[in-house]
Amino acid sequence: MTPTKINIPATLSRVSWIIRYQYLPYVINLAGKVFGVTNWMIEDISPTELLKKVTHIQYVYPALDTLHPSRKWRNLRSEVQRTGVRMSKSGLGVGETHTVDVPCQVNGTDKVIGTIYVSQGALLDGLSLSVTMLTPGTARAQITNHGAASITIDIHVSINIVRSPQAIVNSEPNDPTYLVFGQMVEDGSTVEQAEETLRLMAQRIGGGAKNNMVVSDYFFHIYGYSYNLRMSSGNWGEMSRSVQTQANARKRVDFEGNLQGEAVFFSSGAYLYRNQIYNGYLDSFTGTHGRFMPYEIILNYTKHYIATSGDTKMFTFSWQENEGVGSPAERVGGAYQLLRFPDKSGSIARHDRYTLSGEVIFVQAFWTILVGDGLVFWDGVGPMIKDPHAFIPGFNGPIKWIPDAGSEQTYNPNDPQQPAKVTSVAGVFPPTPQVGQTAAFRAAWVCSQIMGVSDRTSLYMLWATFTYVIDGISAWGYYNEPAPANGSLGHARLNGFGQPVNLNEVNAINQCQFSKPLAILTVGVDGPAFVWHWPDAPLSKTVTVNVSNFGGFSVDVRGRAPQVFLLN
């Protein structure tokens, strides 16, 4: 076979403050897989143009009302109104009830369910609180004294009004191609309400999980729905055990990597009618460091395929920001990255949260699209424009002016030596560099070359038998030999792609454990391709890879990013 590298156009890799790929002529064809986004340069790029570059746009723009559901993805929201009310009364007698009516901005056709948060976290003993809807426009909060003596109350109550599952479903398109996620739990719905919403949506379509694109609420994973594992635990034995049986594959995994009970996704029966989310929330350095990501993605998709026998899809839900969850050092520290104004001799620096690099997003998007069912790239919704003068204040702290000559200053918009600040009704300049979404697109573009452009993936994927040479020193491709470990079917094919379940396919685990490269052959109706990715590769050295499959071939690779070769 003759390998031909798929070279990524340099301009697609160019770092940028704006979502630059949307201006470039490159398009994707993922042959049915998903690459969805939220943010777009709405001022310059029409939906028609954007839809050449993504498969789905998040349905948060009125402009998309007429767009077919198959090109939209939705993050279901349940929140209608979140209202704080102070309930104060001195001498609330035994058996007495204190009532406060709260106006609600509620659609008269919605059935409304109230949820309650109390400022103290719990009511004092003897008091009960209820919230009812009197009319579609009024919520009534009532505190009743069930105690033995009168009491003075001064309680802040948060009334979070959410729509009923049926009301949410009724407001959404009924289409089997409509890609649906949810943040209903974060909005205040209970897990049960959120699940009921998804169930109703799937039931309305009918035909089970295979027949719809209903996925999951993105908070479900913290309520026991997930069975993903993190390789950073280093619990290699449990990882291997997780792919030995379907029952193990369905098990939750604790922080140390130990298999727990059956994930709620299965125990609740949700897997029968909807699909699964792959948590792509990368977050802080503390949770994302190391080489693990590509191996982890392969393993978790393997686990999912075994757990569901391939009957449900799993989509990755990601974004490019680092909020610093569990890492106050990052949350507080934030980032100061330079935004330069070509007409001025200097840059400004705003304090904002960290943005993940395009490098890591590229890895995540590449592997989740290649071995999974695709990725949606969630983000906050705000029209973005490319005029840097429309920058916005920082997340925390003053804006700095960094002149080319001289010391940094506090930004002064009235100083003619400094860039002007403008406010545009069209939108804002992106607050953080938008390298992530372009990197995700770049990954989708590379995948397109071996999916829709030339089908090199639809049949199966196979761990390659290979050796690799650095500085004249040859190494086996796997920790113990050049050949991969075979699974229960007697071969080393990855799980997925409609193939029979291949239990005990543990090569991703082994490669990660021993810091070995990922060398995978993909096969489609147009022939094979070769995928190489070695997160621990030396940056400045060329690695020669000798693959013995398909009659044998060699490629030279360099760097830590995934690289793809067509084999002809």
Partner 1 sequence: MPHLPISAVPDKPIALSGGGYRFVVQLVTCQGQPATHPNIETPTQVFTVPSAAQPLLFEIGYGTYTLDNLKFRVHSDNQNSGCFLDSQCLNGYAIDCPLLGITLGGGNVECMTGDCIEDWQPAGALFHKGGSTDTPYCQAGPELWGISKLAADRFRVDFHANGVDYIVLDISDEIGTLVERYNTPKLTGPNFVAQLITPLTTGVSYLFSLRGRDCVPRDPSKSRLLFTIPDISVEPCDATWSSVDSALYCSGGTTPSRPACYDGPNPLSVTKQSNLVYVVSYHANRMNDYTPKGIAWKFLNSSGSIVASGSTGELSTSSFTITLPTPLPIGNYTVKLDGAGCDHQNPSLSVLGFTVEDTPPPVISYPLFLYEAVLPSRVISNITPVLSIHELPSDWNVGWRGFNGQLFDHVDVEMWDTTSGAEVAIPSNYLFHADVPPTTEQLNPSLFPGNSTFPPGLHRPNSTFRVRVTYSYHGVVLGSQEARFGFGGGQDQSAPNPGIPYSETKNGVRVDAIDSIAARVVVLENGNVRLIAPLTRLSFNGANVCRLFLYDGQHNRLLSAEREALLSSNGLSYPDGEHGLMAIYVNAPLDNYDSVENNLYGLFGDPSTYASNSARKDMIFFTVGASGDEPTPPTVPTFNSRVTQPYCDGFSLVGAQLTLTNIVGATRYRISYTPTYVEQGNCTASDGVITGNLVNIPLIPGASGTSRSFTVRVYANDSCDNYADTSGVIYAQNCAAPEITHLNLDMSTLIDSSARCGEYQNYPIVYDIYAKIIAPGTTFDGATARIGSAPGNSFPVGLSPENSILMAGYNSSCGGGVPVGQPANSIFYRFVVNLNQVYAQYPQLNGLTVEMWGERIKNTGAGARDTLWFTQNTFTKVRTISIAPYNGIYFSRDPLYTGVATQRPYQTYNGAVGGVRKLGTFTFNRQSQVLSFTAGA
Q: Does 527 contact partner 1 by CB under 8 A? A: no
Rounded Cα distance between 563 and 568, Å, is 16
Contacting residue, 5, 31, 97, 548, with partner 1 by CB under 8 A:
31
The DSSP line for 219-271 is: TGGGGT------GGG--HHHHHHHTTSHHHHTEEE-TT--EEEE-HHHHTSGG
Build a one-symbol-per-residue string for 468-507: x at contacts with partner 1 by CB under 8 A, - elsewhere.
----------------------------------------
435-449 and 358-371 helices cross at what angle (nearest 10)? 40
The residue among 371 and 503 lying less far from partner 1, judged by its C-beta, is 371
Q: Does 446 contact partner 1 by CB under 8 A? A: no
User: Which positions from 356 through 415 interact with partner 1, judged by CB under 8 A?
Assistant: 356-360, 362-363, 386-388, 400, 402, 408
Question: What b-and-e string marks burial along 25-47, b requiring 16 or more CB atoms within 10 Å of the CB?
Answer: ebbbbbeebbbbbbbbbbeebee
Closest CA relative to residue 394, chosen from 432, 356, 358: 432
Rounded Cα distance between 40 and 43, Å, is 8
The residue among 303 and 400 lying less far from partner 1, judged by its C-beta, is 400
Q: Does 84 contact partner 1 by CB under 8 A? A: no
Q: Does 15 contact partner 1 by CB under 8 A? A: yes
CB-based contacts of 566, cutoff 8 Å, min separation 6:
3, 4, 6, 449, 450, 454, 456, 527, 529
Number of H helices, E strands in the chain: 14, 31
Q: Supply the minimum distance, in Å, between the C-beta of residue 494 and partner 1.
A: 21
Q: Supply the minimum distance, in Å, between the C-beta of residue 69 and partner 1.
A: 15
Contacting residue, 4, 5, 44, 204, with partner 1 by CB under 8 A:
44
Contacting residue, 149, 222, 247, 329, with partner 1 by CB under 8 A:
329
Q: Does 334 contact partner 1 by CB under 8 A? A: yes
The residue among 8 and 523 lying less far from partner 1, judged by its C-beta, is 8
Q: Supply the minimum distance, in Å, between the C-beta of residue 71 and partner 1.
A: 11
The residue among 13 and 81 lying less far from partner 1, judged by its C-beta, is 13
Residue with tokens 């130990």: 258
Q: Supply the minimum distance, in Å, between the C-beta of residue 264 and partner 1.
A: 27
Binding segment (CB under 8 A) for partner 1, from list 151-159, 196-204, 212-220, 330-338: 330-338
Q: Supply the minimum distance, in Å, between the C-beta of residue 500 and partner 1.
A: 27
Total chain residues near partner 1 (CB under 8 A): 89
**Could you tell me if 484 and 477 are in contact, meaning their C-beta atoms sit under 8 angstroms apart?**
yes
The residue among 123 and 402 lying less far from partner 1, judged by its C-beta, is 402
Q: In what order do the strands lie in the sheet with 79-92?
A: 79-92, 151-163, 112-118
Q: Cβ atoms within 10 A of the Cβ of 322, count?
A: 24
**Could you tell me if 509 and 236 are in contact, meaning their C-beta atoms sit under 8 angstroms apart?**
yes
Q: Does 103 contact partner 1 by CB under 8 A? A: no
Q: Supply the minimum distance, in Å, between the C-beta of residue 513 and partner 1.
A: 15
Contacting residue, 10, 122, 148, 405, with partner 1 by CB under 8 A:
10
Rounded Cα distance between 457 and 530, Å, is 10
Element spanning 203, H or E: helix 191-205
Q: Does 333 contact partner 1 by CB under 8 A? A: yes
Contacting residue, 340, 344, 421, 491, with partner 1 by CB under 8 A:
340
Binding segment (CB under 8 A) for partner 1, from list 12-20, 160-168, 300-308, 459-467: 12-20
Q: Supply the minimum distance, in Å, between the C-beta of residue 253 and partner 1.
A: 19
Please compute, for residue 165, the number of CA atoms within 13 A of its CA located in the half-sphere on the CB side.
Answer: 17
Q: Does 74 contact partner 1 by CB under 8 A? A: no
Binding segment (CB under 8 A) for partner 1, from list 57-65, 85-93, 192-200, 249-257: 57-65
Q: Supply the minimum distance, in Å, between the C-beta of residue 557 and partner 1.
A: 9
Contacting residue, 23, 236, 395, 550, with partner 1 by CB under 8 A:
23
Both tokens of 466, joined, read: 């290979």
User: Which positions from 244 through 283 interact with partner 1, judged by CB under 8 A?
Assistant: none
Q: Cβ atoms within 10 A of the Cβ of 114, count?
A: 21
Q: Does 452 contact partner 1 by CB under 8 A? A: yes
C-alpha distance from residue 305 to each of 441, 444, 522 (Å): 25, 22, 17
Contacting residue, 1, 3, 16, 314, with partner 1 by CB under 8 A:
16
Backbone angles phi, psi at 26, to 5 degrees: -85, 140
Alpha helix segments (H runs only) across 4-43: 10-13
Our CA dihedral for 304, 305, 308, 313, rounded to 10 degrees, sits at: 80
CA angle 130, 135, 139 (to 5 degrees): 35
Contacting residue, 270, 339, 370, 566, with partner 1 by CB under 8 A:
339
Both tokens of 13, joined, read: 């890799």
Q: Does 447 contact partner 1 by CB under 8 A? A: no
Contacting residue, 190, 327, 504, 548, with partner 1 by CB under 8 A:
327
Q: Does 555 contact partner 1 by CB under 8 A? A: no
Closest CA relative to residue 494, chosen from 242, 145, 243: 243
Binding segment (CB under 8 A) for partner 1, from list 174-182, 185-193, 502-510, 554-562: 554-562
The residue among 7 and 99 lying less far from partner 1, judged by its C-beta, is 7
The residue among 63 and 134 lying less far from partner 1, judged by its C-beta, is 63
Residue with tokens 């490629």: 555
Q: Cβ atoms within 10 A of the Cβ of 350, count?
A: 23
**Could you tell me if 200 and 165 are in contact, meaning their C-beta atoms sit under 8 angstroms apart?**
yes
Contacting residue, 48, 407, 410, 414, with partner 1 by CB under 8 A:
48
Build a one-symbol-per-residue string for 164-203: x at contacts with partner 1 by CB under 8 A, - elsewhere.
----------------------------------------
Contacting residue, 4, 5, 60, 64, with partner 1 by CB under 8 A:
64
Q: Does 428 contact partner 1 by CB under 8 A? A: no
Rounded Cα distance between 138 and 347, Å, is 51
